[in-house]
Every structure is written in structure tokens, then in C-alpha cells.
Amino acid sequence: MPVPASYDYLRDPGEITRRSFNLVRAETDLSGLPEDLAAVAVRLVHACGLPEIVGRLAWNGPVAGAARSALAAGAPVLADCRMLAEGVTRNRLPADNEVLCTLQDPAVPELARCRATTRSAAAIELWQPRLDGAVVAIGNAPTALYRLLELLHEGAPRPAAILAFPVGFVGAAESKEVLIEAALDIPYLTLRGRLGGSALAAAAVNAVAAGAP
């Protein structure tokens, strides 16, 4: 079959964005969400194309407002992986906030070996000096969320908000349920089940930084 010289498709980026968010709102039931969290949910759905994820969201406290206030005050974003860190749109951050991922720190491999754990979990140890009042975003490793929760139970500094979207077949759903059941009195947003990933975690950070699209 001969290949056509060009295809008929929408090319205007502004119009693509406008139509995308209109479709998200038309196809997504946001009625059970607080207004500021609904704006975050819109961006999450836009990031993955699945309106049905809204029914799996779980949260504690005014998480969007807490994260936004922390960012406005200059708090860092602590990310569990580089893909998530690179997905944060820097010009949406209100205070030129640092986006920190410690996974590639030279100390991490030895920490992981000594603690008999994953590098993702070991990298969380290095967050402790920056954890107080930070915005934590986890978009990859369930072990990172587990270790964060352990540290908080041990008395580590408390972040302003936790955006937890670990993904996968082993530990992802379970780690998010542990977060929900931990009763840490820290605002959080998570997505029950196996779904998650860096794109969703970055979308959550971008959403709370920028507000409603």
C-alpha cells in the first residue's frame, strides 16, 4: 500500500491541549473529590488516558494545598527515580524549587548492600537531611515507599505531603495500602492497586505546583 504524503491530524498544540482537557472532564467523574484535588485528578487522567483511575484515588487531608504551600515556601521535591525527576516541569515550580533524586549517589550501592535492600530503598536514607517539610513524590519503587514509612515511624523529619504512585506487580499495591493504614497524619495522595509510574507522580507534582489547568 502506498504511504500517503501526509495524514490528516490535529497539529496545533494549544488546540490539542484544549480538546484533551475538555475530553478528560467530560469523561471523568470528579464529583467525589474536593475541588483542589479534582484539578490534580484531571492531570492524572490526562497523563495516563484512564478516567477510571479516579475511583482508585485515596488521600488524606488537604494534600494539594499542603504540597502547593510547601512549594511556594521553597520546599524541595524529593523524587525516587530520575524519570520522575525529569518529568517535573521546572517553570511551574513557584520558587525555583530543587528537584532531588538520590538514586545515583555514589553511596547508594554500598548502602543497599549493607542493608540487604534495593538501591531505591537505600537512596531514601539520603533524603533525611532534606525531608522536613518537603514534597515527596514516589513514582517507581514500592521499596522506596516502604522505607520512607519505616523512617517516619522511626522519627524521621516529616514531609509536607506524600504523592505515592509506585507501580508494579510486587509490592506496589501493598505499599500503598500500608501508607493508607499508617495513620501518620501527613497529607498524601495515592492510587490503589498496581497502577502508577513516574508519569503519574510527575503529573501530580506538576498539578499541585500549577493549580487547575
- Does 150 map to a domain? yes
Query: Quick check: is 36 in a domain?
Result: no
Q: Is 32 domain-assigned?
A: no
Residue 46: active-site member: yes
- Residue-wise pLDDT tens for the chain (213 aa)? 566 678 889 899 999 999 999 999 999 999 999 988 999 999 999 999 999 999 999 999 999 999 999 999 999 999 999 999 999 999 999 999 999 999 999 999 999 999 999 999 999 999 999 999 999 999 999 999 999 999 999 999 999 999 999 999 999 999 999 999 998 999 999 999 999 999 999 999 999 998 644
Task: Give me the CATH number covering residue 91.
Answer: 3.40.50.10230
Domain assignment of residue 62, yes or no: yes
Q: Is 28 among the domain residues?
A: no
Flag whether 132 is in a domain: yes
Tell me, yes or no, whether 193 lies in a domain: yes
> What would you report as the CA-atom Rg of the chain, rounded to the nearest whole angstrom?
18
Annotated catalytic residue: which of 28, 41, 46, 149? 46
58 membership: H or E segment, kind and range? strand 57-60
C-alpha cell at 52: 477510571
Establish if 21 belongs to a structural domain: no
This prediction's pTM: 0.93
Coil vs helix vs strand at 23:
helix
Question: Domain residues for 90?
Answer: 56-208
3-state helix, strand, coil in the chain (%, to 5): 50, 10, 40
Task: Report the number of distinct structural domains present in the chain.
Answer: 1
CA-nearest of 201, 194, 91 to 136 is 201
